[in-house]
Chain A
Amino acid sequence: MKTLDEIEKQLFETVADISEPPKGAYNFRLNGKSIGRQSSKNIDVQPQKDGLIIRIAPRTNDEVVHIPVVISMSGHKETVINDFYIGDNADVTIVAGCGIYNCGADDSIHNGVHTFHIGKNAKVRYVEKHYGAGPGAGKILNPVSVFHLAENAYAEVELEQIRGVDSTDRVTKAELKNNAKILIREKMLTQGKQYAKSHIETILQGKNTTADIVSRSVATDDSRQEFTLHIEGNNLCRGHSECDAILQDRGSVIATPSLDAKHVDAQLIHEAAIGKIAGDQLNKLMSLGLTQNQAESQIINGFLK
């Protein structure tokens, strides 16, 4: 594998918690090229036009596949298409994520389109971290993630935009067949003049399907965030979405819930709360000995934990 410089190493570490190739299946992508790829006995990682096809054998148990992306070349723009086929009864973790370092005058853009076909009774944990750094122009990330859950499948989706992403337009969609369940946890922090838009759409097609979506965000400085959380219930199903945001400085957030119940046994709930850190929360932590700054960090770190 190509030798990485310190910045690239640090970006891979931040978005995928690894700096060296891991034991199992992986693909490391740097500035538009694969710099290391490996399949395992049960997980096949193959290139396709503009991305990867990842096939996970049925009954694969307790395996992880890493597919982190780093852009360190200013002005690099790419659209990556990755397709995942997860066999019946598999139980796996997929770690994606993208880090951009930009020190130049041109915007760097990563558009990642991921489609997951999750087999019957399969269980998938999907972790995606996005991070931007460097003094240069835009660090722009536009991910599209689409989940197709077969009967009795389960997906746990963790979407995290840590810091430094100037602009994002993220789309997450899921469609669930009988007895399938999806949990989506989104965390977002924006600073400066950053802009973030997130649309999460879940269609509860099958009987006894469940969706639980929690989006937590912090908008600081002059940043702007827009959330639309949509759940459609077409059967006996339960859907819950929650959108919580903390505002600091001149940050602003719009949260638009939408529930579409098309079946008499669909139970759909939405909660949303936006506001600054409550004075009582600060007072409580300060009365335990923390300074105001320490109390604010504690509240925000806990909120985005």
Chain B
Amino acid sequence: MSFGALYNKFMLQVKNLSFQVKSERKTRKILDGLNISVKPGELIIITGPNGSGKSTLAKLIAGIEKPTTGQITLNGTDITDQTITERAKLGIAYAFQQPVHFKGITVKDLLQIAATGQETFLEDETGTDYGNILKTIGLDPEIYLSREINNSLSGGELKRIEIASILARKASLTVFDEPEAGIDIWSFDKLVGVFKRLRKQNPEASYIIISHQKRLIEIADRIIVLKDGQIATEGPAAKIIPKLEELL
């Protein structure tokens, strides 16, 4: 088998990944020997109870946290010691669960940084038309492009802008940490539609979505259930969904 074929088999591999937090008295394991492989084009939902380590896993993949032990590879390259910036340049996007405020930076500034801060990996119908990107997630560009990303925006608006910044990235692997958090039902419906459309347009792009939301879980290829920092179960959506209630 050629290396190329190997890379194509798995886009992202998380190998024996552990993350511990040390306090004065004891060491707490947040993630414990996790192994996850993501294929090109795959949409994986990671779910599980609060405190199971889901958000930590997302941060480890984005490079915001560094693992205690273990390895992360992207298309065969070991990225475990790479910075957030280096990973972004390799095509990883990360949508924050709690969107960040910036005094003086406008929505347009943020979308511009997102679109031009690194190589564009994929093409889709939104192109680099920022107005179009905002419309996709239900925000009127006339009103929002010039708005500062500060606390005058509601939680739902900030969340949609966060998602817009990810859409502008056109990354090859996108990690969403609870995209449904703080978003209203109407926008959430739009968001599910966005995921479906993105997948159709870019069959090679992969998504890891941390979510509790049934409607998002239903569009997964595969579901991984985390519990106490380990994989409680995983498998195709059709097989896992019926068992979810008893697992969570």
Say if the beta carbon of A286 comes within 8 Å of chain B: yes
A286-B88, A288-B113 given; A305·B165 CB < 8 A: no
**Contact in complex: A216, B103 (CB < 8 Å):** yes
Say if the beta carbon of B242 comes within 8 Å of chain A: no
CB distance from B164 to the nearest CB of A (A): 12
Q: How far is the CA of A283 from the CA of B87 in the complex (A)?
A: 12
Say if the beta carbon of A302 comes within 8 Å of chain B: yes
Q: Which chain B residues lie closer than 8 Å to A280 at the CB level?
A: 96, 98, 100
A298-B113, A299-B105, A302-B109 given; A289·B100 CB < 8 A: no
Contacts of B5-62 to chain A: CB distance below 8 A: 62
Q: Which chain B residues lie closer than 8 Å to A216 at the CB level?
A: 103-104
Contacts of B91-113 to chain A: CB distance below 8 A: 93-94, 96, 98, 100-105, 109-110, 113
Q: Which chain A residues lie closer than 8 Å to B165 at the CB level?
A: 288
Q: How far is the CA of A290 from the CA of B96 in the complex (A)?
A: 16
**Contact in complex: B102, A289 (CB < 8 Å):** no
A280-B96, A290-B85, A292-B85 given; A285·B103 CB < 8 A: no
The count of chain A contact residues (Cβ–Cβ below 8 Å) is 22
Q: Which chain B residues lie closer than 8 Å to A278 at the CB level?
A: 100
**Contact in complex: B102, A302 (CB < 8 Å):** yes
Contacts of A263-305 to chain B: CB distance below 8 A: 278, 280-281, 283-292, 298-299, 301-305
Which B residue sits closest to A242, measured CB to CB?
B103
Q: Identify which of A278, A285, A290, A298 gathers the most chain B CB atoms within 10 Å of its CB.
A: A285
Say if the beta carbon of B220 comes within 8 Å of chain A: no
CB distance from B208 to the nearest CB of A (A): 14
Which B residue sits closest to A278, measured CB to CB?
B100
**Size range of the chain B interface in the assembly:** 20 to 34
**Contact in complex: A298, B105 (CB < 8 Å):** yes
**Contact in complex: B169, A288 (CB < 8 Å):** yes
Q: Which chain A residues lie closer than 8 Å to B217 at the CB level?
A: none
Say if the beta carbon of B202 comes within 8 Å of chain A: no
The residue that A284 contacts in the complex, of B96, B103, B104, with Cβ under 8 A, is: B96
Say if the beta carbon of A244 comes within 8 Å of chain B: yes
**Contact in complex: B103, A244 (CB < 8 Å):** yes
Say if the beta carbon of B145 comes within 8 Å of chain A: no
Q: Which chain B residues lie closer than 8 Å to A285 at the CB level?
A: 113, 117
Q: Which chain A residues lie closer than 8 Å to B122 at the CB level?
A: none
Q: How far is the CA of A103 from the CA of B169 in the complex (A)?
A: 48
Q: How far is the CA of A202 from the CA of B103 in the complex (A)?
A: 24
Q: Which chain B residues lie closer than 8 Å to A287 at the CB level?
A: 62-64, 84, 87-88, 93-94
**Contact in complex: B96, A289 (CB < 8 Å):** no
Say if the beta carbon of B212 comes within 8 Å of chain A: no
**Contact in complex: B113, A290 (CB < 8 Å):** yes
**Contact in complex: A289, B88 (CB < 8 Å):** yes
Which B residue sits closest to A291, measured CB to CB?
B85
**Contact in complex: B104, A303 (CB < 8 Å):** yes
**Contact in complex: A304, B114 (CB < 8 Å):** no
A298-B113, A302-B103 given; A286·B83 CB < 8 A: yes
**Contact in complex: A283, B84 (CB < 8 Å):** yes
Say if the beta carbon of B66 comes within 8 Å of chain A: no
Q: Which chain A residues lie closer than 8 Å to B63 at the CB level?
A: 287
The residue that B118 contacts in the complex, of A244, A289, A303, with Cβ under 8 A, is: A289
Q: Which chain B residues lie closer than 8 Å to A288 at the CB level?
A: 88, 110, 113-114, 117-118, 165, 169
**Extra contacts besides A278-B100, A288-B118, A305-B104 (14): CB < 8 Å:** A281-B102, A283-B84, A286-B85, A287-B63, A288-B110, A288-B113, A288-B114, A289-B113, A290-B113, A292-B83, A292-B85, A298-B105, A298-B109, A301-B104
The 8 closest A-B CB pairs, nearest first, are: A289-B117, A289-B118, A302-B104, A302-B105, A286-B84, A289-B88, A284-B100, A303-B104
